Chain A
Amino acid sequence: MRLNMPKSTSRQAQKGQAILEFSLIAFSLALMFAGAFTVGAMLNKALQVSNVTRSAAVLMVTAITNPKADLNLVLPQNQRILIREASGLGMASDAQYDPSPTGNGAIFLSKIILVGDNECAAGVSPIPTGVPPWSTATCANYNTYVFAYYVAIGNNTRWASAFGTPPSGSVQSDGTISAVNIATDTHVQIPSTTMTPIITLAQSKYALISETYADVASIAVFGIYRPPVIYYRTIT
């Protein structure tokens, strides 16, 4: 089949006409592709943040429940596992994927427990006369939500855990809170008004919480749309 092109049009005129028409649609195309890119990049970052958060949760479970793993997530060399997975989120300070305290993201790992009889038994010594039953008089954190583990990775000056921050003096070098502090240190408490809207635990039951913040402003295109900070949380 032969294409029936207008013969009277000069090549220059065709070119000009194409430019004209393309310029008319270019703006909408640019908008469309910028939007698509931003949304796509956002989804990509969101998935990455999601994966990092879940990986952090898995590592935390290993660190907390398996002493033989000897996994101390306070150590930067172990934190690199997560920072490497977060590659592209701006959380690394160097090529070795050490976490940056001023970077574009932060990860918070927490174990929160509702203190019950067993925690008081483990943390209060000598055992007071008349116990059991336990009460706040004999075990200050009895029936209260407390941190039992806390590790902050990355820029923890810009962001903080949604559940609060235990005093550094209450957290041991491996991120754990001692049995004594779990039972008696009121500074590691978490207000029930913070916990109960999210989840309610039975006594002696715990939740492992992994939170990730990531500032993804760098993926904004032409300044049209500034993406928010991505926050992702898993409660295991």
Chain B
Amino acid sequence: MSRIAKIVKKDPKRRGFIILTHALMLFVTIAMIGLAVDAGTMYVIKGRLSSAVDAAALAAGRSVNLGSTVAAASVAATTTATQFFNANFPNGYLGTGTMNLSPPTFTQETDSNGNPTGYLDIAVNASVPAPTYFMQIFGIRNVNVSGTGTATRRGTVMILVLDISTSMNSGSPTACSQMKAAAQQFITNFSPYDTIGVVEFTFTADVLYPPSTNFGNGTLNTALGNINCTNNTNTTSGLWLAYEQIKSVGLPLAYNSIVLFTDGSPNGISANFPVRTQADTRYGQDYTQGICTSTGTPCAMPVICSGAASQTVRGTIPQGAGQTNTGGTSGLYQPINTDPAISYPAACNSSASGAYIRQMVAYIPDFDVYGNSTHGVPATSTPPNCPGATCGVANVTLKSTGATYYYDTRDFWEFQANNLCSSPSGSAVAPCSARGNNQPGGGVWSSFPGGSGSNFFTAGPYVGYMRPDQPTTIVAATMNTAMSESYWIRADSSGCGGSGGNGTVCPTLYHPVINTIYLLGNATDAADHEFLSIMSNTQQIIALPYDNPGYVPYTNPAYQQHQESGLYQVTASPSQLTVLFGKLADEVLRLSH
């Protein structure tokens, strides 16, 4: 008999004690292990569920632009959220039961004062019965596991600023019609949780469509379709008005953006112009045409304003036909359509308006009506062509203050008479390619190359002031103010509350981004290489479509590293506008969402 058998035989009462104990404890042990395994399984299911609802919430946020109305956007978001959820949490995962996925909910975030911030919170809830394996012993067949995924979508506040000047009527179909079609296509990329408005400008800027989230209901599409291209190009007022729209929407955390479309250099300067109370020699005709009968020759212009030299008249003077001193000017016009009607000083004969405005206005002041310098923007680097005929950076001394600034300026440029970068087919024509090719800075512009002469009076009572009698000077001054307005928009003094304005340095609140699309060669009046790049604050000055492959990009001489940078695009073909607007939509959606 073995030893074990002997032991068992010796103590029959002890037999089965441990087994019995173990059997009793087994129930507890299995329960504990089962609880651990089932809890672990549920934890895995919970993790997977959380991942799936997170993905669904993000996908929903990305998809709200697939519908033009809130209802349509919700349907699209729900569909996409379901797709992404199912991709992450397959039906029946680890034996789970029927899924209950709720439609995404959308909530605008607000600050501590209850004001919307520009962020949209998206939440997705889901629950699923998770099976148990061991706990079924205790009658628990499944446990409901739930998860909530949240995502935040940065809203977009976008103001389109559209150049609807006469030059846009060139081509067949016209650039105007192609611009309208491109803009109509462009807005379809955005969701009813975004805010879109449109500012249009000729020599006067106006709000074509106030910023709204209801743009997808067809009203904006109709408004764009009804655009009529005419008159001049007051880009600065358009930009200023667009910035006002951004501030009126008041969503500081949104992607606040201005999209400027233009087909050339601006040509409408808005200022409080000092009236001319002293005789001098200048271009233009007097309103009686009794003394100065020709625009082509400097003439001793009669004085028509009496009284104090400090009198001013507020309005916009656009450059009319022609770029040289023999071209026309007109005015005054309201910078913004809601501005008061032009009020000519009683001491001046208001007949000297329109084509004779050069007789009434003394000079272009150092600052425009918005506080922009009429001499440009601060330079941050020196281009490779400086000093040179097309250098855009120079020291500028303001006549009014005597202060000198290192500016990227158009003060010393004149536009060429034969600036025709106009070729609807996109091929370069001789005057443009000969003058502009691979030239940093000016391109079709250059400094006093046998043109009209200085943009400043060189003699007479207004010596040193910018001339209002030369169309080319009006263009130069307007380019300066447009660049300056862009600078101050990007600087965004809103952090000071309502007290800020151009020239005021305050913390930025809206972080505005200026994106630009330039249609080159649509007509005359081409802009230079730097102009729109500076407005968008790009780091590099890139080639224009007519440049040769040898063009070497260079650093934007007015690049501001602490301001937002936008996308600058240029084309020589109106038919490509839809593509450029599409590319911009891609960029905006990437950055904002």
Interface string of B88-102 (1 = CB under 8 A from A): 100000000000000
The minimal Cβ–Cβ distance linking A30 to chain B, given in whole angstroms, is 13
B37 interface contact, C-beta 8 A: yes
Known: A43-B40, A202-B66. A235 touches B585 (CB 8 A): no
B44 interface contact, C-beta 8 A: yes
Among B8, B47, B590, the residue within 8 A (CB) of A50 is B47
The minimal Cβ–Cβ distance linking A38 to chain B, given in whole angstroms, is 11
On whether the beta carbons of A127 and B18 are closer than 8 Å, the reply is no
B562 interface contact, C-beta 8 A: no
Residues of A within 8 A of B585 (CB): 118
A193 interface contact, C-beta 8 A: no
Residues of A within 8 A of B44 (CB): 43, 46-47, 50
Interface-centre pick from A44, A53, A118 (highest chain B CB count, 10 A)? A118
Interface string of B1-45 (1 = CB under 8 A from A): 001100110110111111100100000011001001100110110
Give B590's nearest chain A residue, CB to CB: A65
Residues of B within 8 A of A119 (CB): 586
Binds A, one of B55-63, B284-292, B308-316, B416-424: B55-63
Binds A, one of B239-247, B487-495, B506-514, B574-582: B574-582
Q: Give residues of chain A (179-233) contacting chain B, Cβ–Cβ below 8 Å.
A: 198-200, 202, 204-205, 207, 233
On whether the beta carbons of A121 and B47 are closer than 8 Å, the reply is no
On whether the beta carbons of B84 and A32 are closer than 8 Å, the reply is no
Among B36, B80, B578, the residue within 8 A (CB) of A40 is B36
On whether the beta carbons of A236 and B84 are closer than 8 Å, the reply is yes
On whether the beta carbons of B62 and A205 are closer than 8 Å, the reply is yes
On whether the beta carbons of A122 and B43 are closer than 8 Å, the reply is no
On whether the beta carbons of A43 and B58 are closer than 8 Å, the reply is no
The minimal Cβ–Cβ distance linking A65 to chain B, given in whole angstroms, is 7
Please report the C-alpha to C-alpha distance between residue A32 and residue B18 in the assembled complex, in whole angstroms. 17
Please report the C-alpha to C-alpha distance between residue A222 and residue B555 in the assembled complex, in whole angstroms. 67
The minimal Cβ–Cβ distance linking A81 to chain B, given in whole angstroms, is 19
B525 interface contact, C-beta 8 A: no
On whether the beta carbons of B18 and A6 are closer than 8 Å, the reply is no
Among B17, B576, B582, the residue within 8 A (CB) of A118 is B582
On whether the beta carbons of B37 and A16 are closer than 8 Å, the reply is no
The minimal Cβ–Cβ distance linking B68 to chain A, given in whole angstroms, is 14
A36 interface contact, C-beta 8 A: yes
B583 interface contact, C-beta 8 A: yes
Interface string of A16-55 (1 = CB under 8 A from B): 1110111011000100100010011001101100110110
On whether the beta carbons of B16 and A21 are closer than 8 Å, the reply is yes
**Majority DSSP secondary structure for residues of B touching A:** helix
Size of interface on B: residues with Cβ below 8 Å to A: 51
Known: A21-B16, A22-B18, A132-B578. A205 touches B63 (CB 8 A): yes
B496 interface contact, C-beta 8 A: no
Interface size bracket, A side: 35 or more
Among A10, A20, A29, A51, the residue within 8 A (CB) of B4 is A20
On whether the beta carbons of B33 and A20 are closer than 8 Å, the reply is no
On whether the beta carbons of A121 and B583 are closer than 8 Å, the reply is yes
A168 interface contact, C-beta 8 A: no
On whether the beta carbons of A236 and B18 are closer than 8 Å, the reply is no
Known: A39-B37, A46-B44, A118-B582. A236 touches B19 (CB 8 A): no
B435 interface contact, C-beta 8 A: no
B51 interface contact, C-beta 8 A: yes
Residues of B within 8 A of A8 (CB): 10-11
Residues of A within 8 A of B11 (CB): 6, 8-9, 13-14, 17
Known: A17-B15, A121-B586. A235 touches B88 (CB 8 A): yes
On whether the beta carbons of A200 and B583 are closer than 8 Å, the reply is no
B54 interface contact, C-beta 8 A: yes
On whether the beta carbons of A199 and B13 are closer than 8 Å, the reply is no
Give A39's nearest chain B residue, CB to CB: B37
On whether the beta carbons of A235 and B579 are closer than 8 Å, the reply is no
Please report the C-alpha to C-alpha distance between residue A187 and residue B194 in the assembled complex, in whole angstroms. 36
On whether the beta carbons of B586 and A127 are closer than 8 Å, the reply is no
Residues of A within 8 A of B17 (CB): 17, 21
Please report the C-alpha to C-alpha distance between residue A131 and residue B575 in the assembled complex, in whole angstroms. 8
A174 interface contact, C-beta 8 A: no
Please report the C-alpha to C-alpha distance between residue A200 and residue B86 in the assembled complex, in whole angstroms. 11
On whether the beta carbons of A234 and B51 are closer than 8 Å, the reply is yes
Residues of A within 8 A of B19 (CB): 21, 24-25
On whether the beta carbons of B55 and A40 are closer than 8 Å, the reply is no
Residues of B within 8 A of A198 (CB): 87
A85 interface contact, C-beta 8 A: no
Residues of A within 8 A of B590 (CB): 65
Known: A47-B43, A118-B586, A121-B582. A14 touches B14 (CB 8 A): yes
The minimal Cβ–Cβ distance linking A145 to chain B, given in whole angstroms, is 14
Among A10, A21, A132, A204, the residue within 8 A (CB) of B579 is A132
On whether the beta carbons of A13 and B10 are closer than 8 Å, the reply is yes
On whether the beta carbons of B84 and A235 are closer than 8 Å, the reply is yes
A-B contact list, 27 entries, CB within 8 Å: A9-B14, A10-B10, A13-B14, A14-B11, A16-B4, A17-B7, A17-B8, A20-B8, A24-B19, A25-B22, A39-B37, A43-B37, A47-B43, A47-B47, A54-B51, A54-B54, A118-B189, A118-B586, A122-B586, A127-B571, A131-B576, A132-B578, A205-B80, A234-B55, A235-B55, A235-B84, A235-B87
Closest 3 pairs (CB-CB, A-B)? A21-B18, A118-B586, A43-B40
B residues at A contact (CB < 8 Å) = 3-4, 7-8, 10-11, 13-19, 22, 29-30, 33, 36-37, 40-41, 43-44, 47-48, 51, 54-55, 58-59, 62-63, 66, 80, 83-84, 86-88, 189, 571, 573, 576, 578-580, 582-583, 585-586, 590
Q: Known pairs A14-B11, A50-B47, A118-B583; list 18 more (Cβ under 8 Å).
A: A13-B10, A16-B4, A17-B18, A21-B16, A21-B18, A22-B18, A24-B19, A25-B19, A32-B29, A40-B40, A54-B51, A122-B583, A132-B579, A199-B83, A199-B84, A234-B51, A236-B54, A236-B55
